[in-house]
A and B are shown apart, each in its own frame.
Chain A
Amino acid sequence: MSVGAPGLLAQEDRYERDFTAGVARSPWQLFSRRLREDRVAMAALATIVLLILVAVLAPLVVKLAGAPGPNVQDRDATDMFGTPLGPNGDHWFGVDPLGRDVFSRTVYGARVSLLVGIVGTGVAVLVGVTVGLIAGYYRGWVDTLLSRFVDVVLSFPVLLLGIGIASACSLGKGCVGGAITPGVRTVILVIALVTWTSIARVVRGQVLSLREREFVVAARALGASNRRVVVREILPNLTAPIIVYSSLLLPQTILLEAALSFLGVGVSPPTASWGWMIADASDNFDTQWWYMVFPGAALLLTVLACNLLGDGLRDALDPRAER
């Protein structure tokens, strides 16, 4: 995040207006007002809320739509050559080669994508913020050690590392003596492992500058413990960058999950996952377009909405940031 460029004129105007109207606003009020004024971000937010609702209420959504469950194999939905039927009255999005309803699998696929996306991002943020705080606050050899470690992790080819770990841990009884078992947990672990570094760097940079500010110096002078300074003084001032970075990390993790599933090392079938569906469909895309288009569109929509919301949050939280 680059800071320091002169603010945009329009936003300066707005501050001016608030000031001249004599209205005092908290940072939170300013943020929510700016966000509400950003139509694109609001649309993105609505989309994400809708997606989360669909994911949580997947069984209900599928039932209301009158579609069969995601793992129901309808043998009458394929022809004598095993070619699946396209979109029709019984199956809105058509069926896959096993006769399973693509609509209901797409709906259930949202569960995996959002679960892995949200939890994976959460873990990455937790690790990244912790490492960044420690490195930035203590400086010295602690910082050197952690920063070099971040450099090392950053220099790994992310997808290859992910594939390696995921394939090592997604077979049999898992790896590290069964501590990491196959399935969603492995995917979340892999994603957290390769994505926490960017946020750690940002947080470290912010902490380095915050720890020299007067309020921190004052708190220390009053005898506050390191822990109190970090948790009560510095961390609250990091809320904005953390929210912004988390929201931009979310679509990345969703895509990473799709990529891992596409490559066959993500969640295992028959669990519906967009990445797996797209991979499965890629051989016969010319004749069975629906099998790839609908999960693909769902993935696109989700990632787009997350990115747009992330941009909107950044604008609302830090209007001075350059785009």
Chain B
Amino acid sequence: MPRLVKRALPLLLLILATGLAACGSSSDNGGSSSATADDGAGGHRGGTLTVLTSQDITSLDPGITYQSLDLNVLASTMRTLYTYEPTAPATLVPDLAAGPPQISDGGKTLTVRIRRGVRFAPPVSREVTARDVKYAIERGFNPNVANAYASTYYGDVVGADRASGGAIAGIQTPDDFTLVFRLTRPTASLLAQSTVLPLSAPVPQEYAKPFDAKAPSQYAAHVVSTGPYMVAADSDGKVLGEGYVPGRSLRLVRNPNWSAAGDHRPAYLDGIDFEIGGSGTVYGRQTLAGRGLVLADPPTPALVKKAYQEARDQIFFSPGAGTRYAALNTAIPPFDDANVRKAVAAALDREQMRRVRGGEVIGDIASHFLYPGVQGFEKAGGLEGTGVDFLAHPEGDTALAARYMRAAGYPSGRYTGGETLQIVGLAGAPDSNDAQIFDQTLQDLGFKTSLKLVDSGVMYGRFCGVPRARVHACPNVGWIRDFADPQTVLNLAFNGNFIFPENNPNWPQLNDAAINRAMARGELTVGDAARASAWAEIDRMITATAAAVPWLYDRQPNVFAADVRCVPELWNQGHCDFAYTSLKP
């Protein structure tokens, strides 16, 4: 994949930390034991839903946003080319597109027909054309917009390597309702899937261009919707200070130009009000006891327990919310020695790592990196694991750890080197508790450690994503797919070609020639089953290196009030999808 991935990371990383990340799934090849999700059919019309969130959204601009909660908002305000329905997270369905993607020229051309009759919200109020999608994608390369994944997923489009906001030769609009992508490599099927991300949502050029000329782009303050809801705006379309007050509130109202014909979204609600910036703990309690409320924060373990025991139908555990792992720096001693890494993996009590987050209900113990719901998960070994002995005992196996330490040249079975290992984890429970369990495990193996607990931006931006910081281990990292393809889970995180001096996503700095070659082949593999096999094999290879210790497949808990009929976005982190959720009469 792309060269410019560098630019792709800062936001993604933030996402990964705050609740671990963007998009989740559960297709039938996933092995998770999830509760069945309500598809919301036949909901009651009317009413306003209130969403409580301690964290603000990062951006309303479809070209910028790349965060779980933002994607949740945009799913009901924006129409991307393709999308997932909330409870079928691996099935690509046309949204703005009029039909399935047409791939030709051996995978080097992608043609998408655009639906007629879709109109922008006021003040633009005109019909959406293919040119609006072309502009939306091109502006992603504009430094003022600086989309985080444009070069990752649109990097193979002809001319994208030189793009900086102007026209891209490889995106053509032969007529108002046809969009053609010409690619330098046969990766059209991956490109089609990636259009579920909001960058493919149309942006009216004549309206947005002046805003995009500013650095950074001011379009988010004037964003125009195409979906059933829009951010409340004044007559000029300004939403900042009207429908959105940063750090305080966001108000979604119905888009008068939206038509139910030609959209799969039922849109039962009259509006959605966000209350932003209060205490997550207080919000959690309010949500359980209140009416018409949804909690957008990850609930605390105490709230999960209370909801699970006392209000089982007010909590939903969304499967396939990513893999959490501890990255061991393979580039410097002592973790450049595979046996030392395996000793750490063997010793780590992953059962306890999970328990401090809320126990069995919040996920399965991980034993490799593709997670339940991602294609290839079962082929790589499913919940049983890939068969490596150092991950066979979730509660930790100190005898085996000692054996690996002896194999690494420490006859006592304990580490005897003198240096102090730098461990960087996330501040704030429960992440800080996981970091401390990991830290204690290293100390029990004889390592001297210095544990730093910092926020996610600092953890990725200054330590784990910066090789020259020489951090030895990062116990709190995690990865989640961007859409339903295994490549999006493994490629950036473990490909030796993606080790950058800044914003490095390959936290263990794994650079294994055989794995790199297998990934290069995997990128060009076509067909779901073949791709699943190829990437499952890569997953097994990565796991065998012990460059990282997988410890949890997240099931993200989501809490809502008793009168809310929540339809969870399984492709996201189980947030209630506002365009499907309804209030019980």
Contact = CB atoms under 8 A, between A and B. Distances in A.
A241 interface: no
Contact of B352 (A75, A170, A284): A75
B469 A82 contact: no
Interface of A: 71, 73, 75, 78-83, 97-99, 170-172, 182, 264, 268-270, 280, 283-284, 286-288
Contact of A73 (B308, B357, B440, B450): B440
19 contacts: A71-B440, A73-B437, A80-B360, A81-B359, A82-B355, A82-B358, A83-B302, A97-B356, A97-B430, A98-B436, A171-B462, A172-B422, A172-B452, A182-B452, A264-B453, A269-B451, A270-B451, A284-B300, A287-B302
Given A182-B452, A264-B453, A268-B451, A82 B357 contact: yes
- The 10 A-B residue pairs with the shortest CB-CB distance, nearest first, are A81-B305, A82-B355, A80-B359, A81-B359, A284-B302, A287-B302, A82-B356, A75-B352, A82-B301, A82-B359
The main secondary structure of chain A at its interface with chain B is loop
Interface of B: 281, 300-302, 304-305, 308, 349, 351-352, 355-361, 422, 427, 429-430, 432-433, 436-437, 439-440, 443, 450-454, 458, 462-463, 469
A170 B463 CA distance: 13
Contact of B452 (A80, A268, A284, A288): A268
A78 B300 contact: no
Given A172-B469, A270-B451, A98 B305 contact: no
Contacts of B450: 182, 268
Nearest to A281: B429
Given A264-B453, A268-B453, A280 B305 contact: no
A83 B301 contact: yes
A75 B302 contact: no
B301 to A, nearest CB: 5
B10 to A, nearest CB: 18
A172 B356 CA distance: 27
Nearest to A172: B469
Nearest to B352: A75
Contacts of A269: 432, 436, 439, 451, 453
B356 to A, nearest CB: 5
Contacts of B355: 75, 78, 80, 82
B360 A78 contact: no
Given A98-B437, A283-B429, A284-B300, A78 B356 contact: yes
Nearest to B434: A98
A171 B433 CA distance: 19
Nearest to A181: B450
B440 A270 contact: yes
Contacts of A79: 359
B383 to A, nearest CB: 19
Contacts of B440: 71, 73, 270
Contact of A97 (B349, B429, B443, B463): B429
A99 B462 CA distance: 31
Contact of B308 (A78, A81, A99, A171): A81
Contacts of B360: 80
A171 B423 CA distance: 11
Given A81-B304, A270-B436, 11 more contacts: A81-B361, A82-B356, A82-B357, A82-B358, A98-B433, A264-B427, A264-B453, A268-B453, A283-B300, A284-B429, A286-B302
